Structure 1
Amino acid sequence: MAIRSLCRAKPLLRAQLIQSLHKPKLRYHFSSQNHHHHYSDPPPSADLVSEISRVLSDHRDPHHDLELSLNTFTPKISTNLVEQVLKRCKNLGFSAHRFFLWAKRIPGFEHSAGSYHILVDILGSTKQFALLWDFLIEIRENQSFEINPEIFWIVFRAYARANLPNDAIRGFNRMVEFGIKPSIYDLDQLLHALCKRKHVKVAHQFFDNVKHEFTPTVKTYSILVRGLGDVGELSEARKLFDEMLERKCPVDILAHNSLLEAMCKAGNIDEAHGMLREMRSIGAEPDAFSYSIFIHAFCEANDIHSVFRVLDSMKRYNLVPNVFTYNCIIKKLCKNEKVEEAYQLLDEMIERGANPDEWSYNAILAYHCDHAEVNMALRLITRMTKENVMPDRHTYNMVLKLLVRVGRFDRATEVWESMEKRGFYPSVSTYSVMVHGLCKKKGKLEEACKYFEMMVDEGIPPYSSTVEMLRNRLVGLGFLDVIEILADKMERSTSCTIQELANAMRGKTGFRKSRSEETELESD
């Protein structure tokens, strides 16, 4: 339907658009198969996992009667099913906790150790720390599960991610309250969690305070040396390396690599080369990671010639870079318009047993999409699937955005349908790519409404910016009645977020676009 025809608002065309919005689109068919309460059960159906996950999403408010809505699933609950639902609901801390407790009350049901770990991770990831500690205390008092050090490792990572390093340390100190005497392995986990999130100064200070209570290993020192290198503290990294030697720790390749990496990140490539030669002289033979450190440093400096020089050296010593290192080179080649060399490297990866992953292909796909090379992009996706590498969200978002942008709507439909056949369920970002792209194209407003309606039917809350864009297009063309139909549909959704966004569709409220939403829309 052409935009000009829409603007004239012919009764027949208006009726067609409105009629299309009332067509039901049922895509999920839920299994009624019962599962025994066994960890050895076969995996639950993806549809059943999706249905329960949606119930949790729709009942995230504390006042919602989540348990009543879950009761219909009681005969189908299994250990595997609970684990899969928890994995799908990592951003729903409160609902996931209620779901866990509800399942625990089912006669004869027992959670797996994995479910306890997943829930602790969820509560930490959603910063529900008070609830997390209440949960651990309840476990301790009821003795329903033996709390192990791995639970606390999850807690350390959660606090570090939340930029609460001192709370991570307090968590370490609280281990004794739960009958666990911290070991050097637990200290290593704490230091690694802190250093990974750049809380290196706090980690270093805590280590200095407690190192006489433990026997630090080469791994302990390597974690800190690498962390100090990451934040540009090469001199401190050297001091710690020397301390390790003074304490007569058996220095392994991991420790050497940590200092090599610190040198390269500080820009001291020549010094790092000297250390590499010295390593050989003392019998510490460099491994693939030793060379990969230099590759990443040269990629950072955009020195492609030196990158390939290091690759040649690795071949002489029969060393193979890992997939992450290959991907770094491929991405750099594509940014330098050397896509043919990127393809050659892709072939080399397969020949040398470093099987490409979705990131390997996505780096090249991004080049084809940036240059509007439709056939090359589609050919690359075909190659991915032939080599058993499943396209991910970024893959589909990039190619769908390209196809809509260049007006290849037929191919966009084909890709969407093939995506569903492969079992990939589009997320809000993928739907938004279609709605935003189609809204910008003449004659494609009805298609944009169709994808928006599908998203609402699936219970996926759209971005506020998507609601705003679609509303503005409909208002501009005089389709106020279509806006009402969409808003009514949103109000009937079981998702509270979608219900609230119905007001935004009517123009009654100002939902603010989140930073993560902006990133999603701009990155793919």
Structure 2
Amino acid sequence: MMWGGFRRRFTKTILSVKLRAADVNPKSVNPIQFQFQCANSIAALNLTPCSATGIVTSPLRSPLFAISLSSFSSLINENQIAASFKSYDQSEVDDNTEASEDDCSDDGLDVKFGQDIAIVLKILQEPGRRIFKVRNRLEQCSITASYELVVEVLSRVRNDWEAAFTFFLWAAKQPDYAHSLRAYHSMISILAKMRKFDTAWSLINEMRRTRSGESLVTPQTLLIMIRRYCAAHEIGKAISTFYAHKLFKFDMGMEEFHSLLSALCRYKNVKDAEHMLFCNENSFPFNTKSFNIILNGWCNILGNPREAKRIWREMDERGIVRDAISYSSILSCFSKANKLNEVLKLFNQMKALDIAPDRKVYNAVIHALAKGRLVKDAHNLLITMEENGIAPNAVTYNSLIKPICRAHQLDEAREVFSEMLQRGLSPTVRTYHAFFRILRSAQEVFALLQNMKKMGCCPNNDTYIMLIRKFCRWRQLDNVHRLWGEMSQMSQNGGPDRSSYIALIYGLFLNGELEEAHKYYKEMKAKQYLPEPKLDEMLQSWALGKQITNRQMIDSRDNQLELSHLDNKSRVTSTKFDKQSVSY
């Protein structure tokens, strides 16, 4: 009955996982079959140090850890996000490496510290650099490595894994310095983001054998790897890393299970997360938080109201108590889907059940009302929210500003923005993005960008990607290059990332700047960013066409030279014949 709806959707999909893990009940896996063997041997996963080398190998290398994923596995291709020029890719949030979006300057840094950072960045970001030269220059720079310096530099070069890793290795060799846990986590995240998983595991192995003799590996270390595998849609390896908690002698309880579900959902593997939830009922009993994670995945990560309703009904059928977080997720989903009646119905239902709305619930309803052109009602609800002891925050005002901007009511949006400032709330990047989307001239764009920086809100790569696309649509390539240069100098953002290159290359290509697009594509590949299939196809077709055209031009020129030569020869012969005729 309750299980029937779920089984009908997924009866054809099977996940077969062979894992060596402890304390997992095979009965919990029906209908998805997890086959576990050897419940207590760490050596079975080849995680014990090798007798010859003393090195621990990756828990994903064992043939006994084979994971077979069938058609149920997430089919979302990250390249599809950037495949359309009109799409807007939210950049991934790095683990322990993201700079604050509100920190737009180095004013808070010590002068000497800031100078050291500038020197290191100049070495690492030198155009046309070679790694061995970078190493030599670092050795000669006479800068003292410190915990703060290493973490800050890694944050600044997080989109260039080679530069980051070269600096990380240099720092490790400096006297009186040993990498901190945060430095290791930053570097592991950078490597795993670029899918250098083997190198990341080698660092985890190094963390187990520090100079002090104590292991630095924590559950957070494994969670970083789990998140990066989920981001790369390597679901089997993410699950394997989750079960490696036992092998590192960490607890593998409900909190760790929730972290796995959250990581899967965060990177759009919601189907996989749902299967993990239902097939592990005996090991990890159902509760409200588990279902809220899945519900939020369907609601706010994939934005699928139909699937959200299915999970909502499933919670009711299984007797799972819904809380304010459950309601905030589904209200947010219906709000984004323009289902105002559904939003108001659920909001009233929530109050009837004596579930006190939290800030997220109010934000979702305010957004739905503003989107439905009921701005006055939305503002009244904001006042009611405050009367109920919940102070509006920047997100609350963004919930008002974004739909008003989309309706091109710029004056009303400015009024709400002014009220936000009067309350002492600092605008966020998303606040400015709402205004950027409706601006219609370069002068307005750059004026707002300047104002954004003055307010202490640092534009991130998403800001520049949005504006580059806007100027490409307007065919203002000078402004595109201006923004690209500015973004390259913004070390707080780590420099241009893969999504930035893709946006720029598409824009140049669509504006007929094929040579320049190809130049930036080669630069992107030189930085070892993951290839983008459609770009490959487009630029390879262009390069092939260019080769054919060049060959045809060379052949044509050769033919013209040959014809010219024959014509000259014919003229000489004709002149000679004429002279002979005259003599006769």
Where does 1:30-109 land on structure 2 (aligned, <5 Å)? 45-54=116-125, 58-59=129-130, 64=132, 67-73=135-141, 75-109=143-177
- For residues 326 and 76 of structure 1, the distance between their equivalents in structure 2, rounded to whole angstroms, comes to 45
The answer on 1:174 being equivalent to 2:251 is no
Where does 1:36-435 land on structure 2 (aligned, <5 Å)? 45-54=116-125, 58-59=129-130, 64=132, 67-73=135-141, 75-142=143-210, 143=213, 145-214=215-284, 217-229=287-299, 230-231=303-304, 232-242=306-316, 245-246=319-320, 251-262=322-333, 264=335, 269-297=340-368, 303=372, 305-318=373-386, 319=390, 321-327=392-398, 329-368=400-439, 370-371=440-441, 374=443, 380-381=448-449, 383-385=451-453, 387-390=455-458, 394=463, 398=467
Contact 1:194–1:203 (CA<8 Å) still a contact in 2? yes
- For residues 266 and 222 of structure 1, the distance between their equivalents in structure 2, rounded to whole angstroms, comes to 19
Alignment deviations for residues 17-47 of structure 1 (CA, whole Å, 9 cap, x no partner): xxxxxxxxxxxxxxxx998xxxxxx566441
User: Quick one: structure 1 residues 330 and 73, their matched pair in 2 at CA, closer, same or farther if it must change by over 3 Å?
Assistant: same
Alignment deviations for residues 282-340 of structure 1 (CA, whole Å, 9 cap, x no partner): 321112211322344466xx52x235423322212315554345335434333433111
- For residues 317 and 110 of structure 1, the distance between their equivalents in structure 2, rounded to whole angstroms, comes to 50
- For residues 151 and 136 of structure 1, the distance between their equivalents in structure 2, rounded to whole angstroms, comes to 8
The amino acid of 1:291's aligned partner reads Y
- For residues 122 and 358 of structure 1, the distance between their equivalents in structure 2, rounded to whole angstroms, comes to 23
Gapped regions of structure 1 (runs ≥ 5): 1-32, 36-41, 441-461, 470-492, 499-509, 515-524
Gapped regions of structure 2 (runs ≥ 5): 1-109, 528-538, 544-584
User: Quick one: structure 1 residues 176 and 463, their matched pair in 2 at CA, closer, same or farther if it must change by over 3 Å?
Assistant: farther
- For residues 66 and 414 of structure 1, the distance between their equivalents in structure 2, rounded to whole angstroms, comes to 28
User: Quick one: structure 1 residues 244 and 118, their matched pair in 2 at CA, closer, same or farther if it must change by over 3 Å?
Assistant: farther
User: Quick one: structure 1 residues 465 and 427, their matched pair in 2 at CA, closer, same or farther if it must change by over 3 Å?
Assistant: farther
User: Quick one: structure 1 residues 418 and 188, their matched pair in 2 at CA, closer, same or farther if it must change by over 3 Å?
Assistant: closer
Q: CA RMSD in A?
A: 4.7
Contact 2:184–2:203 (CA<8 Å) still a contact in 1? no
User: Quick one: structure 1 residues 466 and 95, their matched pair in 2 at CA, closer, same or farther if it must change by over 3 Å?
Assistant: same
User: Quick one: structure 1 residues 129 and 243, their matched pair in 2 at CA, closer, same or farther if it must change by over 3 Å?
Assistant: farther
- For residues 310 and 325 of structure 2, the distance between their equivalents in structure 1, rounded to whole angstroms, comes to 18
Contact 1:152–1:172 (CA<8 Å) still a contact in 2? yes
- For residues 100 and 423 of structure 1, the distance between their equivalents in structure 2, rounded to whole angstroms, comes to 17
> TM-score w.r.t. structure 1 length?
0.62
User: Quick one: structure 1 residues 381 and 216, their matched pair in 2 at CA, closer, same or farther if it must change by over 3 Å?
Assistant: same
- For residues 272 and 397 of structure 1, the distance between their equivalents in structure 2, rounded to whole angstroms, comes to 30
Contact 2:460–2:493 (CA<8 Å) still a contact in 1? no
- For residues 122 and 57 of structure 1, the distance between their equivalents in structure 2, rounded to whole angstroms, comes to 21
Contact 1:184–1:214 (CA<8 Å) still a contact in 2? yes
User: Quick one: structure 1 residues 89 and 236, their matched pair in 2 at CA, closer, same or farther if it must change by over 3 Å?
Assistant: same
The amino acid of 1:237's aligned partner reads I
User: Quick one: structure 1 residues 380 and 263, their matched pair in 2 at CA, closer, same or farther if it must change by over 3 Å?
Assistant: closer
Alignment deviations for residues 143-169 of structure 1 (CA, whole Å, 9 cap, x no partner): 564211111221121111112222211
User: Quick one: structure 1 residues 57 and 160, their matched pair in 2 at CA, closer, same or farther if it must change by over 3 Å?
Assistant: farther
- Shifted more, 70-79 versus 147-156: the winner is 70-79
Contact 1:56–1:66 (CA<8 Å) still a contact in 2? no
Q: Indicate the percent of aligned positions where both proteins have the same amino acid.
A: 23
- Shifted more, 283-292 versus 311-320: the winner is 311-320
The amino acid of 1:465's aligned partner reads E
The amino acid of 1:139's aligned partner reads M
Q: What secondary structure, in the 3-state scheme, does the structure 2 residue paired with 1:134 have?
A: helix
Partner of 1:28: none
The amino acid of 1:236's aligned partner reads R
- For residues 128 and 215 of structure 2, the distance between their equivalents in structure 1, rounded to whole angstroms, comes to 27
- For residues 513 and 117 of structure 1, the distance between their equivalents in structure 2, rounded to whole angstroms, comes to 41
- Shifted more, 109-118 versus 230-239: the winner is 230-239
- Shifted more, 386-395 versus 342-351: the winner is 386-395
User: Quick one: structure 1 residues 162 and 377, their matched pair in 2 at CA, closer, same or farther if it must change by over 3 Å?
Assistant: closer
Contact 2:230–2:267 (CA<8 Å) still a contact in 1? yes
User: Quick one: structure 1 residues 417 and 269, their matched pair in 2 at CA, closer, same or farther if it must change by over 3 Å?
Assistant: closer
User: Quick one: structure 1 residues 311 and 160, their matched pair in 2 at CA, closer, same or farther if it must change by over 3 Å?
Assistant: farther
Q: What secondary structure, in the 3-state scheme, does the structure 2 residue paired with 1:76 have?
A: coil
- For residues 186 and 91 of structure 1, the distance between their equivalents in structure 2, rounded to whole angstroms, comes to 28
Alignment deviations for residues 260-280 of structure 1 (CA, whole Å, 9 cap, x no partner): 345556765434423322322
The answer on 1:465 being equivalent to 2:465 is no
Which of the pair has more CA radius of gyration? 2
Bigger helix share = 1
User: Quick one: structure 1 residues 424 and 71, their matched pair in 2 at CA, closer, same or farther if it must change by over 3 Å?
Assistant: closer
Deviation, structure 1 residue 243: 6.2
Q: What secondary structure, in the 3-state scheme, does the structure 2 residue paired with 1:211 have?
A: coil
